[in-house]
Amino acid sequence: MYGRLPIVKMLAAIVALTAAISAVMLSINWDGQEASTAASKIDDLLNVMIVISSFVFSLVVVALFYALWKFKAKPGDESDGEPIHGNTRLEIAWTLIPTIIVLFGGGYSWKVLDEIEKPAKNPLTVDVFSQQYAWSFGYPGKGNVWSQGELHVPVNRQIQFKMHAQDVIHSFWVPEWRIKKDNVPGITTTAIVTPDKVGTYQLVCTELCGFGHATMRAKVVVEPPGQFQKWVAGLKEKVPQPLAESVVQDTETNPAPLSAGGA
Ligand SMILES: [Cu+2]
């Protein structure tokens, strides 16, 4: 009754709109400076998702505006719409295409996560203690020395942060590293990061944890290994007893595979 859809013209419109939206969205630096080996991989993943989302958005908008223009009722036309039972081919297509897109996104994310969490040969373990509303850090490989409110790590070495929440759920986030990990009371969660740029950053609690949440920050210093060793050697305090106990008591859960043991 309405003739064939102008498929070629619609495709051209979709491609053009996808390109225009992607160009704008990709020109924005959403996440700021990159300062870990994970950062560029995560940003690439985000960019790919932006292009895919722009495509889906364009598809919907072009189809919507075509329908608005083409099938608009004439003035005075009070008749019913055509009775339509369904369209099997269309329904298969709109089930299959989103399924493929979602599976692709899931698979790609899996691959990126696998790469950035791959254990390196000589990682440095740092215990992270979070409590309302402060961060402190223990260095188990360095005589268990303790630092309050200031985290130092050597550059270009993998760091395995072991999280030990003391009261409620907090979350460990250094935006320039891109890594974010919840600190959950009773269990040890692990964040694996290889910082690759010397500098001073900020650790932000990114889980609403109470009235002081917004102030729950710590200074992060990424420095050459020599400087880091000097700083660690200058730490006089040891991890206090209650915190040290939580390290032992917390159940290890992440990123060990599920088969590695239960609670
Ligand atoms: Cu918090």
CA of 59 to the centre of ligand 1 (A): 41
Residue 29 CB neighbours (<10 A): 9
The label of the residue with tokens 């055509």 reads 82
Domain-embedded: residue 76: no
pLDDT category of residue 101 using cuts at 50, 70 and 90: very high
CA of 173 to the centre of ligand 1 (A): 10
What DSSP assignment string belongs to 127-194?
A: EEEEETTEEEEEEGGGTTEEEESEEEEETTS-EEEEEEESSS-EEEE-GGG--EEEE-TTEEEEEEE-
Domain-embedded: residue 81: no
Domain-embedded: residue 144: yes
- Are residues 140 and 225 both part of a single domain? yes
pLDDT category of residue 84 using cuts at 50, 70 and 90: confident
CA of 203 to the centre of ligand 1 (A): 11
CA of 134 to the centre of ligand 1 (A): 8
Q: What percent of the chain has pLDDT over 70?
A: 95
How confident is the model over 166-171, as a mean pLDDT? 95
- The encoded tokens of residue 205 equal 């609690």
How confident is the model over 60-85, as a mean pLDDT? 89
- Are residues 20 and 130 both part of a single domain? no
Q: Give the residue numbers spanning the domain of 36.
A: 7-69+92-116
CA of 87 to the centre of ligand 1 (A): 52
Domain-embedded: residue 84: no
- Are residues 146 and 240 both part of a single domain? yes
- Whether 203 and 151 have beta carbons less than 8 Å apart is answered as yes
Tell me the pLDDT tens digit for each residue of 188-197.
Answer: 999 999 999 9
CA of 11 to the centre of ligand 1 (A): 48
- Are residues 197 and 150 both part of a single domain? yes
- Are residues 34 and 139 both part of a single domain? no
Domain-embedded: residue 57: yes
Which residues are CB-neighbours of 252 under 8 A, at least 6 positions away? Answer: 187, 188, 261
Tell me the pLDDT tens digit for each residue of 211-254.
Answer: 999 999 999 999 999 999 999 999 999 999 999 999 888 887 76
CA of 213 to the centre of ligand 1 (A): 5
For the chain, the domain total comes to: 2
Whole-number pLDDT of residue 60 = 95
We report the CATH number of the domain holding residue 229 as 2.60.40.420
CA of 55 to the centre of ligand 1 (A): 37
CA of 103 to the centre of ligand 1 (A): 34
Burial of 208: CB neighbours in 10 Å, binned 0-12, 13-18, 19+: exposed
CA of 171 to the centre of ligand 1 (A): 6
Give the chain's mean pLDDT.
91
Whole-number pLDDT of residue 112 = 95
Distance from C-alpha of 263 to C-alpha of 248, rounded to nearest angstrom: 13
Look at residue 58 and tell me whether its pLDDT is greater than 90.
yes
- Are residues 147 and 163 both part of a single domain? yes
Whole-number pLDDT of residue 85 = 85
